[in-house]
Amino acid sequence: MYTPSAIQEPLIAEIILATRAKININRADIGAVSGEMIIDIPEDKYNQVVRMFRDKGLKVSLLHRPIVRDDNRCVMCGICTSICPIGAFKIEKDWSVTFEPEKCIQCGVCVSACPTSALELSEGEI
């Protein structure tokens, strides 16, 4: 989570240069007063990168389970299958929609597209 003072600083670039970590930005929503990003951090650089983010005053959360689906709200419409950029959702022969969490890059596109709000990103403070 970005703070207002951090918005104008090249913090990601500084952290990449300092740690030499190959950070993949899956989703970024940066506004004038706050921001949020979902990134992949290489396992061998994880502790160092997280420490640097925190040292710069940023909140860091770990996404334990990429997407959580509320089966009571899901109507199996399949919109998530057509919008997912990496195919983590698929329609089975019985027309049910399944999710492969190990494929998910946590971009959140499916969450925004779901007409019944049955999908959400799961996060936990670390």
**pLDDT (tens digit, 9 = 90+) per residue, 104-125?**
888 889 999 999 999 998 765 4
Distance CA 27, CA 83 (A): 15
Q: Which residue has the tokens 């007063």?
A: 33
Supply the pLDDT for residue 101: 87
* pLDDT, tens digit (0-9, with 9 covering 90-100), for 56-100: 888 888 876 678 899 999 999 999 999 999 999 999 999 999 999
Q: Which residue has the tokens 């290489």?
A: 42
Contact 49, 16 (CB under 8 A): no
Supply the pLDDT for residue 125: 45
How many Cβ atoms from other residues are within 10 Å of residue 125's Cβ? 7
Contact 7, 35 (CB under 8 A): yes
Quote the pTM value: 0.60
- For the residues 11-33, what does the mean pLDDT come to? 88
Distance CA 106, CA 65 (A): 9
Q: Work out whether the CA dihedral 85, 108, 77, 96 comes out positive or negative.
A: positive
Residues 6+ apart with CB under 8 A from 20: 45
